[in-house]
Amino acid sequence: MEQSAKKVIVSLKDIFLRFDGEVILNHINLDIREKEFVTILGPSGCGKTTTLRIIGGFLEPESGDVIFDGERINSLPPNKRNVNTVFQKYSLFPHLNVYDNVAFGLKLKKLPKDEIRRKVKHMLAVVDLKGYEKRPVQKLSGGQQQRVAIARALVCDPKIILLDEPLGALDLQLRKDMQMELKEIQKSTQKTFIYVTHDQEEALTMSDRVVVMNNGVIEQIGTPEEVYNEPVNAFVADFIGEANILNGTMIDDCRIRILGKELECVDKGFGKNAPVDVVIRPEDMMLTTPEQGQLVGVVEKVTFKGVHYEMSVRCGKCELLVHSTSSAKIGETVGMRVVPFNIQIMNKLLPFYDNIIETEVISSSEDENWLEFTLEKETVRAEGHFYPAGTKLRITLPPEALSLAGDGDGDLQDVYIESVVYKGEHNEIILESDERKWLMLSDTDEQVATYVPLNFDFSKAGFEVLEAAASEG
């Protein structure tokens, strides 16, 4: 492929960084090539800006290497790097006109006046602001101000331009226009653009490659088509575009069971009877008569979206999203077919949770049938169970034994919501407390990257004695 032939200009190697003890970047590896438009995409707080700041020289990683043109530059200050940054708040000088804003960096470099004039004029033409030289920047629209900021970053001829949500403040239409313009500017100037956004459509539209981040790690790096059509896990599938993500069982190579039905697919090598996540994009669900359908369901909701109808179809306990140019009626029973190629199989995102507590009873009451133990420095009471103080227990909590305490008082306070993935039936939520991760199921939408109190329903938990209390002998 043409991309891989280009020279790597920036490499992040095993970058690790904590803020206040919290891991923000967890061993990041990323190669960016010359003349590439790379977008770092991910939800709020996942570490995109921090990654960009490390490349820009505004932050130094705790460990790992930042390599620029083959040289390690971890502690090289921003002004010594061949890099320029465009921020969301354009940081233009409000008292200067367009020309002087763009010329600022060149004047600092003490270039001859003629050369400055030539370069500024050329750059204003590139960003389509010819004739605006004398205009005070405060009298420009948001889009025009953004173009001045880009011209100012480009005029000093850096090899790399870093852009941190530069279109975030613009309204939707202007944002779309500017996306096309930015891509054009990148192509015509042949610079490397590293762009940060949480908007997946923006990332897919502009980029040569997309880096999908989540919680301080890179989940996937690929072309827009690769991350959309071949997401490596449920997080990427859910974050990029709309997707039906279902629990499935890989019966054997090229045979999958979902929603109680066996279907043909094209994936191999997952083993026999392996639990997997399955992605089917709404546009790949073809509506048929119930007799012809591989899956059958009842239409619950229909929304006209301009080009297609978006339908929500209930299939047993699951709700499937279907996009189709033909509509069905609410209450109608329909069939759905998917060609094998459009069934995407992924490894489950589950190796990371625990849901098991190994602890010791600190107090208990046989009469009232409860016990208490310490969990991550908090005292937790389990009603309906009795073991004498000193008993060592292993408590296994199935996902359905966990719930969020709406009233603010939970068994564990301040548990972090790491990811929420809708699986047709319910949301699978990964939570993180001080010492472990938890898997919870929920019917309601929860906000990723927030802190919530967590409750346990011990009537659904399994209790196993690891060591009897000493007094029991």
- The residue ranges that bind ligand ATP (CB under 6 A) are 19-20, 24, 42, 44-50, 198
Question: Which residue, 215 or 344, is less far from ligand ATP as judged by CB?
Answer: 215
Nearest distance from C-beta of residue 47 to ligand ATP, angstroms: 4
Name which of 83, 159, 154, 161 is nearest 122 in CA terms.
Answer: 154
* Phi/psi at 244 (5° precision): -90, 115
Q: Can you tell me whether residue 472 is helix, strand or coil?
A: helix
Q: Which is nearer to ligand ATP, 24 or 203 (CB)?
A: 24
- Is 325 exposed, middle or buried (CB count within 10 Å of its CB: 0-12, 13-18, 19+)? exposed
User: Cβ of residue 44: shortest distance to ligand ATP, in angstroms?
Assistant: 3
Helices and strands of the chain, counted as H and E runs:
9, 30
Q: What is the phi-psi region of residue 360: left when phi exceeds 0, alpha when psi lies from -120 to 50, beta otherwise?
A: beta
Work out how close the CB of 93 gets to ligand ATP at its nearest, in angstroms, rounded to a whole number. Answer: 24
Amino acid at 406: G
Q: How far is the CB of 164 from ligand ATP (least distance, A)?
A: 8
Rounded Cα gap, residues 223 and 296, in angstroms? 34
Q: Which is nearer to ligand ATP, 49 or 391 (CB)?
A: 49
Query: What are the residues facing 455 on neighbouring strands?
Result: 403
User: Which residues are CB-neighbours of 75 under 8 A, at least 6 positions away?
Assistant: 60
Tokens of 15: 């970058």
Q: In this structure, what is the dihedral angle of CA atoms 321, 324, 327, 331, given to the nearest 10 degrees? A: -20
Q: Least distance from C-beta 206 to ligand ATP, angstroms?
A: 17
Residue 293 parent element (H or E):
none
Minimum distance of ligand ATP from residue 414's CB (angstroms): 14
Query: Could you tell me the two tokens for 348?
Result: 């489950």
Assess contact for 12 and 55: CB atoms under 8 A.
Answer: yes
| Cβ closest to ligand ATP, residue 12 vs residue 361 | 12
Sign of CA dihedral 141, 147, 150, 156: negative
Displacement of CA 430 from its chain's centroid (Å): 14
> Using alpha carbons only, what angle is made at residue 317 by residues 312 and 321, rounded to the nearest 5 degrees?
20
* Residue listed under structure tokens 């009877």: 273
Nearer to ligand ATP, 212 or 315 (CB): 212
Cα gap 236→238, rounded to integer Å: 5
Pairing between strand 83-86 and 255-258? unpaired
The residue (of 43 and 158) whose beta carbon lies closer to ligand ATP is 43
Task: Give the separation between CA 259 and CA 247, rounded to whole angstroms.
Answer: 8
Q: Between vectors from CA 123 to CA 37 and to CA 204, what angle results, nearest 5°?
A: 20
Closest distance between ligand ATP and the C-beta of residue 14, in Å? 18
Nearer residue to ligand ATP within complex by CB, 40 or 265: 40
Q: How many CB atoms lie within 10 A of CB 466?
A: 11
258 vs 431, beta carbon nearer ligand ATP: 431
Question: Nearest distance from residue 409's CB to ligand ATP, in Å?
Answer: 25
- Smallest gap from Cβ 464 to ligand ATP, in A, equals 37
Nearer to ligand ATP, 24 or 194 (CB): 24
Residue 23 C-beta: closest distance to ligand ATP, Å = 10
Smallest gap, in angstroms, from Cβ of residue 446 to ligand ATP? 17
Query: How is residue 76 written in tokens?
Result: 């090289």
Query: Considering just the CA atoms, what is the radius of gyration of the chain in Å?
Result: 27
Per DSSP, the three-state class of 430 is strand
Select 198 or 426, whichever has its Cβ closest to ligand ATP. 198
Tell me the closest approach of the beta carbon of residue 39 to ligand ATP, in angstroms.
Answer: 13
CB of 48 or CB of 426, closer to ligand ATP: 48
Nearer to ligand ATP, 418 or 428 (CB): 418
| Rounded Cα–Cα distance for residues 40 and 429 (Å) | 23
